Every structure is written in structure tokens, then in C-alpha cells.
Amino acid sequence: MVKRYLKLATLEEALLIIREAFPPMRFSETVAVEDSVGRISAGAVFASYSVPEVFLSAMDGIAVSSRDTRGASEQNPVALSDALRVNTGNVVPRGYDAVIMIEDVWEEEGCWIIRKPVAPWQHIRPAGEDIAETEMIIPSFHRIRPHDTGALATYGVTRIPVLTLRVGIIPTGSELVAPGTRPAPGQVVESNTLMASAWLSSLGARCTRYPITPDDPDEIRRVITLAAEEQDMVVVSAGSSAGTKDYTVDVIASLGEVLLHGVSIKPGKPVIVGNIGGKPVMGMPGYPLSAVTVLREIATPLLAHYGLTPPDPVVLTARLTQTLHSDVGTDEFVLLSVGKIRGEWVASPQSRGSGVQMSGVRSNAYLRIPNRTEGFESGEMVRVNLMVPPSVAEAALLVTGSHDPALDHLADMIRPGGVVVHSTHAGSMGGVLALKRNDCHAAPMHLLSPAGEYNVPFIQRYLPGEDIALVTIADREQGIVSRDGLSLEDLPGHSFVNRQKGSGTRILLDYELQKRGIDPAAIQGYDREVTTHTAVALAVRSGEVDAGMCVYSAAKAYGLPFVPVASERYELAIREEELDDPRIATLLDAVRSDRFRTVLTGLGGYDTRLTGTLHRVPR
Amino acid sequence: MVKRYLKLATLEEALLIIREAFPPMRFSETVAVEDSVGRISAGAVFASYSVPEVFLSAMDGIAVSSRDTRGASEQNPVALSDALRVNTGNVVPRGYDAVIMIEDVWEEEGCWIIRKPVAPWQHIRPAGEDIAETEMIIPSFHRIRPHDTGALATYGVTRIPVLTLRVGIIPTGSELVAPGTRPAPGQVVESNTLMASAWLSSLGARCTRYPITPDDPDEIRRVITLAAEEQDMVVVSAGSSAGTKDYTVDVIASLGEVLLHGVSIKPGKPVIVGNIGGKPVMGMPGYPLSAVTVLREIATPLLAHYGLTPPDPVVLTARLTQTLHSDVGTDEFVLLSVGKIRGEWVASPQSRGSGVQMSGVRSNAYLRIPNRTEGFESGEMVRVNLMVPPSVAEAALLVTGSHDPALDHLADMIRPGGVVVHSTHAGSMGGVLALKRNDCHAAPMHLLSPAGEYNVPFIQRYLPGEDIALVTIADREQGIVSRDGLSLEDLPGHSFVNRQKGSGTRILLDYELQKRGIDPAAIQGYDREVTTHTAVALAVRSGEVDAGMCVYSAAKAYGLPFVPVASERYELAIREEELDDPRIATLLDAVRSDRFRTVLTGLGGYDTRLTGTLHRVPR
């Protein structure tokens, strides 16, 4: 029996259904003032005493009776015998009604000499100047800032009611193992409830993660029943799509009411929202990026409905680097790397596979393709939501092109200097074309011309008349990775995994095959493509294929035999005008550092004699 | 002996001295991934295994060998006998190289029927698709977002090194009592280290508050020595100004080096920065707003120097409602209430007294008067830094004019609806003038004309030709508050506290005194002014004065006798064009609610028969 989503609500409809189903109740807990930063007050807080409660000196000086100072002048100094030395904050006793600053008095023989009169109440803080008993310190729904905590403590408040929502989060799935456990094949680390807890807690919810519940409808029913009793809201992780073992929706239906099963969003379509005893029970899809989308687009508005408002969105307009098609009727959310190139915001879409959790880590923004549109064209200006502070997006350095493990290390080296590298593995030709379209700051490349020259002929051909510099990362060794020490000549008859068309490694392979007269058609898997050196080495190590071509460092990282094929020049292509950009300058400093040479030596297979040299490509 | 600050550094000089004195070291601690949100990674984190480690199905469907599907079509369906039913995420065993979605197959007699062929690797997630072993998950200095935690857990990371700084915070002062203790006269609640801890912790520091240390140089030396050993940085609260009992600077000088004693900022001038054994030791002034300024302007950049970067500033340009003078040579920071009035951002300065801690609570922004300028003129456009998210500043409703305790309750009632009231106690005339200048949204007022009419004549005179509506809060009782049941006629011969000129209460008092033929000069303290009803009642209760004039609710709140003088109409003046503004509409809904009538009845002294009625003032 194949279950389907018959009636999909749009996102707007879904949010309306949710708002109408659940009254906007207020749930609160009491926390110590010192732990209240970022929380939202659940009620007004009033001062239980005045501050100050009595009259205080506002200065270091002497307390006087203003009447005693009458007539004082430069010509006729007055000596005060019953003035009282006070420091700032000292009580001014009855009988004194003014304070004179210590700088304006002279002490002589036990008396204080003054040379001008003072007005009553000068430099005196009246009782209640700061706050009077019964006055309101903060109203309801005030988000506590660090400095508010000091004021609350000053006015006698040590604990404060703040908004919260008790959320029970239930991981379901027989394939799940706890975080910290290395998953066996077919097992998955149960990270979604950890992430959901982190997400909802950051909004002020009080989250409880229940133990992993296997795919057993009775067990799932038992835990959901328990959580719906103990909590204000329940999130059931996974078990919400239409696979054979997805019981969540039936359990919710039997315990209460299913309000929504499936919402026309992507990723995140299989979400469930139900109502058990007046409490929202949400089924969150298992794919991590689907789960994130559901948390952001559905759970977050639901928490806001209960007063737990999220941070303000930070929105900007950016030029899209790729055409994005999307189904009409579906709100699709696409993760992006956003950066500023030559003064213009540019948005480069990440992989849209909802199983690639790293896309979320690599992204600094997302965009929504509204359900009324078929998508956006490359070059179109689109509104994007930042997932990092604006200053971090401003610091993004978009690096698009050929992949090398050393790039990760460079990214790590320059992050403390404030530069955030966003790498897109597009292959060398992809990088050259991205640089041409101003879609990236730097394009790592290693493209061999038929004449045997690296990179320069390709820049001259694809960016004619433009001023481009090439910065050498290293001369690096490419070769055949295998479990059995295979060489290029051994490839026919063995299974193989290739790099994508346009990658420098693919071009190098074809060049070397042709030179040796080997027919690519004789290589089983020649058409199968992955996009990184590590993916090639991994396919070999896992036994999926017998061989592939990659850099030495990838083979070494996995402890695999490596038979060299050729040394090649791996360089960064950068527009000359960008060399002064602080982000580029920081990158080049790192490339030229001793530390980077040490990194390359450690990775292995890099000749660093030319590392960091820069040459301008003749137009 | 009077100590003075001989050489004051400017703020820029101070920050440069600090940066040069302390190398930008990195301090880290290891936390559980689920507790890492908002923290900054102290090092790159790499995947210790690939995800997935083997080939997985990307769909619910059947795993097949693509070769077996060749030739399938609508006309020639193919029955597959050794296909394998798989759900999303299941392992695809060796021998299978593609998955067909369950929607595209038909089950018949134990076989799966397909009607088109599939390409190899369709709907299969290759090993390492998400991340490959040894690849970098996040670099150093990456601020962990909620969704990052899930990815880290998926890739086997359960604990992560994050940046921190161990900060020891020492409260000094014999006048201090612990939070939660009601201070006796002359005592102060020790709230500054609580606030400093909340502030620095929000930036990622690990704070330890030491016990309150009395003004004893030996004891202060002992605790600073201990903290400088145990911590990476030390903050000594108070003891940094030039009063008689300020020992901090001498102690620091004897244990290490004083880099700065006094910085030309206001508030916050008496800050100390020293170096004990290579660790920064900061003396933080005792006035709360001085402490806040020092935390924000000096401690925060110092933490950023150690990698603990603060949130991005949110800056906007606003029209200043008052002229602000400031000394050349001093960077002065002024707290503000900022709101949007008729499409324009308006910034209204708070009290500049550094002892008024409530100014910080009431503010949503601040501005800096740079040390090269003498200040800003009223009406000048100034750059302000928000202390709340932009959406909260957008929700500000500036209410300027006559004070009434009921306004606090109104503010509390409408805060959950998203409206943030900023009240300025300027007296009725102050409110009318603020409304005229578009410096506020609503002006609460109760101004009695010589002809005995409330409010209307003043609007007609000060806002001629403008369309203004008056919304009645209530008719309220004004009278004489005292400890002994004094009446208006009893005032001569008793001590008194007055309200400020331009306040409706002052005008009403003068009107009633004149009616009764009482000479104001006969009232002792007639010239002494406070700005709220509660301040009047408090001065009476504390015994500072015998009597004052205020509304009944203020006398009732303090349990004081009250002898009525007159009933008056307390109203909100609002521009008619603003009545449709959602903030105003929310306010008016609250004024007209049953709940507000209940509040007024509870406070006492309000006749609510006209509450919520609106009348337009004839031009």
C-alpha cells in the first residue's frame, strides 16, 4: 500500500491553520536574574523599594546647609565648621541640603573654606531619583539585555518570570544511534533532536529529548502520549514521510487530530501538525535539511505565537549566479553562499539535496522561491535571508573552481583574520567561467593546454582583454589511487570513478590516456562522476570501485596506494583589481606563510618551491 | 589629599594602548555540541568518518541493477524478480546500482513491474556525498548556529573546543550588600558584577564573581592577586574613582603596571586598565551607567581582541529632539529613546545622570558625541546605535508629557501586542510642545485654562490649525498628600515639594492657591521640583517634606493620607492622522478595554465614565 499526500496545504495556509488551532497562551518559568539575558519577561516587574531610599551625595565633597554658605565670595571666604566630609553615594543626613565638590573647598585648621554660596539641593540625589517604590521596571514581553540584569538586581529583583514553552522532542527510527556512536552501515546518528533542541532552546523553549524510539507503533504511541502529558508541545522526529515504517501520523490521529499532513514546501514537505489535548504535536521529517526548514518555517512561527519571538531577519538583495527552477505551488528554500564581489552582493546556490547536511553548514544565507513562481533566472536580483551577521557575510570570500584539500586548511588559517571562505567545487573550468561572470573572487585551477601549458592559455581564451593574476598554490602530484597499486595503464578492465567534465583532473586524465593510446570506453565507470579528490579516494577505499585519479594528499589521507601520473600547476586566478581587497590580501598572506608550506608538506604531494608566487596573465 | 586624573587618554588612545599591551592570545574550553550555539570554534573540526559510509537509497522504492531494466517501456513492461524494497536511507547492497521510486512501480505476484529503464546511480546517495572522512566541517572562529550542531553530531563530533576567556570579577566597597538584600540607608546592592558577568558571558567569557571585598587595601590586594592567578582577565568593580577609599589603582600599580587611569569618556571616566603578569586587570567605575559604558566601550573591544567578537552594531540616523552639549576632548555617550514618527526616526535623550540606572532600562539606543565636537543641536540628524533589534525600535511609541502611574500599566498591557511604550516625564506643557515638534506620538496632559476648561484651549493655542484628537484616560483626583492629613489651606508653614513648571499639577496648584488667596512664597519648598507623582509621595513618606500635591493613586500606593483638591481631565493628545497607526490603534484599544478600567479602579482616584472617549479639537 502506497500512501500519498492527498491535500497539501501551502505554507501560508498551514500557518493560518496552526494559529487558529492553538490559542496564544503564555507559558512561563522563573529564572535567576543573572540567567535571564535574552529571555522575555512573562509579566511586568515592579520596584519593591525606592532607589535611593534616602538623600545621597552625588559627588565627593562636603555636605553643608545651604543657608550657611550665604555671602561667601572670593573676597569673603566662609569657614564651615559643621560641614561633613562625604563621598559619592554617602547618605546626606537631615540638616544638610547641599554638597560642595571637594575640588571647590580648602581645608584649614579643621574647617572647610568656601568662596561661593551654593543653592539648596546642589549635588544631592533625591530619594527615588532612580526609581520609586511601586514603579514599573520592565513591562511584560521585554527581552532582557545584559545591562537590565544590573538594574533589576539593584531594585531588589533576584528572580524573574520569563516566557518559555516546554517542548518534548522524540526521536523515532530503528536505524538511529545516539550521538557519539559511530554508525554501522544503514545506521544514522540521531542528531535531529539535538539540533531541534538547540534551535528551539535558542528561542527560549525548555526542551526535553526523549530516548530513541524504534519503529514500533505501540512504542511510538506510548511515548507521544507521555510527552503530550508532560510538555506544552511535542516534536516527533522522522516517521513523518510515506515510507513503510512511518507510523507517526496514524498515532497522532488516534490520540487527537491531524491538522496537517504534508505542506507544499521543499525541503520539508512530509511535515505533520496535530493537536493532542490542545497541544501542538509536530512530525518533523528525518532529512536534516528538511528538519531545519520545518523548524524555521513552521516551528519558529508557532513559538512566536506563544510569545517566543525569533531574531529579526536580515534581508538583502543579491544577484543569483544560477538559474533555479521550482514547482509552482511549492515554496522552495534554497541554501546559498552569499558574498560581495566588486561592490555587488552575489548569491551562489548550494546543492539542493536535502540529505547533504553540510550544505547548511557551508551556507550563510537562503532564499525562498515563492509558490507562485517557477523559479529565478541566473543574473536575476533576488531577496536573500542571511544566516550569519551582516559583517560575516561581508567577510565572505567566494572561491569557486577546482578542489584541493589544502583549500580547507587555508580557509581555517584566515578565518581568525575575519575572512570567511566559501568554497564551491565546480572544477577548474567552472571556476574560470565563474570568475568571468564575477560570481567568485578566486578560481582555483589546474588546466593543461594541448601544448602542455598550465592555466594561462585558458585565462587568455575565456577572459580575453581582462587583467588576471595567477597565484601559485603548489605544483602537485596527480596519480592513480587504488587498493592494489594500479597504474594508468592498468585501468582498462578495472572499475573506475571519474571526476566531472570541466575539472582539471578529467582533462589531465584524457590528455594522459590519449598520450598512451588508451581508449576511455575500455574503462568501466569512465562516465561516473564525483566532484572532489576525497570522493574519488573514498569510493576506492569503500570498495565501490577499483581505481580513480586524484591528488596524492587524498590518497595519503585514506592510506591508499598511489601511482603518480603527472605533476601539475595548481593556481588561484584572481582579477588584478581585486588584489588589494583586504580579503584577497589576507588570503595571499596566508598562501605565502611558512605555516601554509608546513601544511602542504604535511598533506604530502606538493612541491612548494613556487608557492605564493604571483604572475600576471598577458592579455 | 585630593587625587586627580592627570593624563587622560582618549578612547582611541586607550584602545590602542590595550591592544599593544596584550598579545591576541586564544583561550578555549571544550563544550558539548548541544551547548555550543552562539559560541565560536577555537579550532577547525574535521569529519572522523564519511557520511554516508556506504551507498544508500535516496528514495522510498526498489533497489535494482540498472542492466535488468533495459528495454522496459509502456508497451513492454519488465518484471523484476530480484529487486529489493528499500526506504529512504537504507543501504543499497552490492549488485544493485539504482533505485526506482515506489510511485513508479507496480507489485504483481511477488514481482515488481516497471515501464521504463533507469540509468545507473539513479536515486543513490554515494558514500561521502554529505562529507568525506578528513574533510573540514567548520574552520576556526566559526560561530556555531543551531543547525550546525546537528551536522557536527551527524559527523561524530560530540564535544567541541570554543573560544572563551576566564574573567574574574571582584566587587569592592564596604557599602555593598549582596543582591536580594534590601539595602539600608547608605548601602548599595552589589549588582555591577552581576551585570558585568551577564554582559561578558553573553560574549562567551567564563565569569567568576568573587565575594564582596571591603574597602581595605590589604584585602583588595589579596583578592586581586588571587584572581590574577586564577583567571585570564580581572575586573575590579568600583574603587576606581578619586574618592577617599579608592585603593584599586595603587594595588594594581604595586602588583604590576597601570596602563590607564582615567579615559576621557563620559560616563566611565575613572576606568583603570592595568597589566598584572601579562593579564589585563580593569577597574570598572561603580556608577552603573559608567560601568555599562566601560563594559561596552573598553571591555568588549578587549574581548574581541581575544576573538570573542560582539554582535554587529545596528546603526540608524535619527533627528535629535534636544540640544546636547558636551566637552571637547571627551567622548560622551547619551542614552536615547528612539522611535519612528510620521516616517522619520526621532531620538529623544534620556537623563544623563550616571546614577540613574533606569535610564539604561528605558533606553533603546545610544549615541556618541565624539571628542572633537561640542555636541549636537536639537533637530540635527545624528547616528544612533540601537540597543534592541530594529523591529523593536520600529514598535516604539513615544509618549511625552504628564506622568500618571496608569501609563505604566497601559505600557505593560500593550507590550505583548508588539508596542513598546517609551515614556518621558516632561509635564503637560512639555508634552504639548513635543507633539508640536513631532517629537512624540502621544502627549498625556491635564492643563487647566483660566476659564476652567481642560486641554482644548492649550492645543488650540500651541498647535493652531492642526488636527489633534484628545483621548480621555480618566477624570482623576488631585490633592494634598501628607503624613498628617494636611489640606491645601495647611500648606503655609509646612515644608513642601512641588512639581516642575509646565506640569499640569503645578498649574492646578497655582490656580487653586490663587482661588484661595494663598501666597506661594509662604510655602517652604515651593521652588523645589520633582517630576512625578510618585516622587512627591515618596518625599512625603520619607519625611523629607511634610506635603506635596499628587494624584490619589500615588498617595494610596504609599499608604499616605490624601485630601482632595480638584478633579481634572487627564487626556492623551494625538495627531488625527496618527490615529490609524497600528501602534496608536493598539494603545487606544487598550485604553478602551475592560481590563484597563479594572486597573484604574484598582489604582484608585479615577472616574472612568469618560475613559476611552475621543474628541477632535476644533481648529
User: Minimal Cα distance from B387: which residue of A?
Assistant: A145
Interval B136-174: pLDDT, tens = 999 999 999 999 999 999 999 999 999 999 999 999 998
- Asked if B397 and A187 count as a contact pair (C-beta separation under 8 A), the reply is no
pLDDT at A1 over 80: no
Torsions phi, psi for A202 (to 5 deg): -65, -20
Q: What is the pLDDT of residues A517-573, one digit of tens each?
A: 999 999 988 988 888 899 999 989 988 889 999 999 999 999 999 999 999 999 999
**How would you classify residue A141: left for phi > 0, otherwise alpha for psi between -120 and 50, otherwise beta?**
left
Cell output for B142 = 566559526
* Nine-digit cell string for A422: 566559501
CA distance A261 to A245: 16
Cell of A166: 516546554
User: Using 50, 70 and 90 to split pLDDT, how confident is the model at A90?
Assistant: confident
3-state secondary structure of B256: coil
The reported pLDDT for the residue numbered B111 is 87
Which residue of chain B comes nearest to A57, CA vs CA? Answer: B186
Is A443 in contact with A435 (CB distance < 8 Å)?
yes
* Chain B neighbors of A50, CB-CB under 8 A: 538, 542
Cβ <8 Å between B34 and A198: yes
Percent of chain B whose predicted confidence (pLDDT) is above 90 = 80
| A195 neighbourhood in chain B, CB within 8 Å | 146-147, 149-151, 153
Q: Given this model, what pLDDT does residue B3 score?
A: 45
Q: Which residues in chain A have their CB less than 8 angstroms from residue B284's CB?
A: none
Q: For residue A4, name the pLDDT band (cuts at 50, 70, 90).
A: very low
CA distance A193 to A168: 10
Number of CB atoms found within 10 A of residue B133's CB? 21
What burial letters (b/e) apply to A24-37, b meaning 16+ CB within 10 Å?
Answer: eebbbeebebbebb
Mark which residues 17-76 of A lie under 8 Å from B by CB. Answer: 26, 33-34, 37-38, 43-44, 49-51, 53-56, 58, 60
From A261-275, A349-363, B436-450, the region with the lowest mean pLDDT: A349-363
Q: How far is CA B575 from CA A194, A531, B618, in A?
A: 52, 64, 13
CA dihedral A76, A78, A79, A80 (to 10 degrees): 180
Lowest mean pLDDT among A151-165, B126-140, B152-166, B435-449: B126-140
- Identify from B154, B159, B394 which residue to disrupt to test chain A contact, counting A C-beta atoms within 10 A and taking the largest count: B154
CB-nearest to B389 from A49, A311, A360 is A311
pLDDT range class, residue B6, cuts 50, 70, 90: low
B18 φ/ψ angles, rounded to the nearest 5 degrees: -65, -45
Mean pLDDT of chain A: 93
pTM for the full model? 0.93
pLDDT of residue B543: 83
Per-residue pLDDT of B7-38, as tens digits, reads 789 999 999 999 999 999 999 999 999 999 99
pLDDT number for residue A551? 96
Q: Which among B134, B391, B499 is the top mutation candidate for probing chain A, defined by the most A β-carbons within 10 Å of its own β-carbon?
A: B134
**Residues forming beta bridges with residue B442, ordered by sequence position:** B399, B574
Among A31, A62, A137, A145, most B C-beta atoms within 10 A, so best to mutate, is A145
Residues above pLDDT 70, as percent of chain B: 98
> Which of the pair, B125 or A345, is modelled with greater confidence?
A345
pLDDT at A240: 54
Residue A373 has pLDDT above 70, yes or no: yes
Q: How far apart are CA B304 and CA B309, in angstroms?
A: 4
- Rounded to whole angstroms, what are the CA distances from A612 to A421, A469, A471, A580? 18, 12, 6, 16
- Residues in Cβ contact with A266 at an 8 Å cutoff, skipping those fewer than 6 apart: A293, A326, A327, A330, A331, A332, A333
Distance, in Å, from the CA atom of B139 to the CA atom of A418, rounded to the nearest integer, reads: 12
Q: Which candidate from B34, B141, B534 shows the least CB-CB separation from A135? A: B534
Q: What is the CA angle B20-B22-B23, rounded to 5?
A: 95
Q: If you average pLDDT over residues B181-197, what whole number do you get?
A: 93
Decide if A143 touches B, using CB distance below 8 A: yes
Q: Please state the separation of Cα B577 from the chain's center in Å.
A: 30
Cell of B597: 478600567
Cβ-in-10-Å burial (0-12, 13-18, 19+) of B580 comes to exposed
Helix (H, G, I), strand (E, B) or coil at A317: strand
User: Alpha-carbon distance B434 to B575, whole Å?
Assistant: 12
Instruction: Determine whether the interchain pair A188/B89 forms a contact, defined as Cβ–Cβ distance below 8 Å.
Output: yes
Residues 529-558 of A with CB under 8 A from B: 530, 532, 534-535, 537-539, 542, 544, 557-558
Nine-digit cell at B583? 501602534
B524: DSSP letter: B
- Report the pLDDT value the prediction gives residue B483, as an integer from 0 to 100: 96
Best mutation target among A45, A175, A194 (most B Cβ atoms within 10 Å) is: A194
**pLDDT band with cut points at 50, 70 and 90 for residue A5:** low
Mean pLDDT to the nearest integer, B528-534: 88
CA distance A504 to chain B (A): 20
Give tens-digit pLDDT for A253-308. Answer: 999 999 999 999 999 999 999 999 999 999 999 889 999 999 999 999 999 999 99
Task: Say what the pLDDT of residue A241 is.
Answer: 55
Q: Give A53-117 as a 3 state SS string.
A: CCCEECCCEEEECHHHHCCCCCCCCEEECCCEEECCCCECCCCCCEEEEHHHCEEECCEEEECCC
pLDDT of residue A67: 83
Question: What Cα–Cα distance (Å) separates residue B268 from each residue in A588, B39, B240, B283?
Answer: 41, 29, 10, 10
pLDDT at B537: 94
In this predicted structure, the answer to whether residue B437 has a pLDDT above a threshold of 50 is yes
Whole-complex ipTM: 0.92
Q: Residue A314 burial (CB < 10 Å; 0-12/13-18/19+)?
A: middle
Closest by CA position to A518, among listed A562, A487, A561: A487
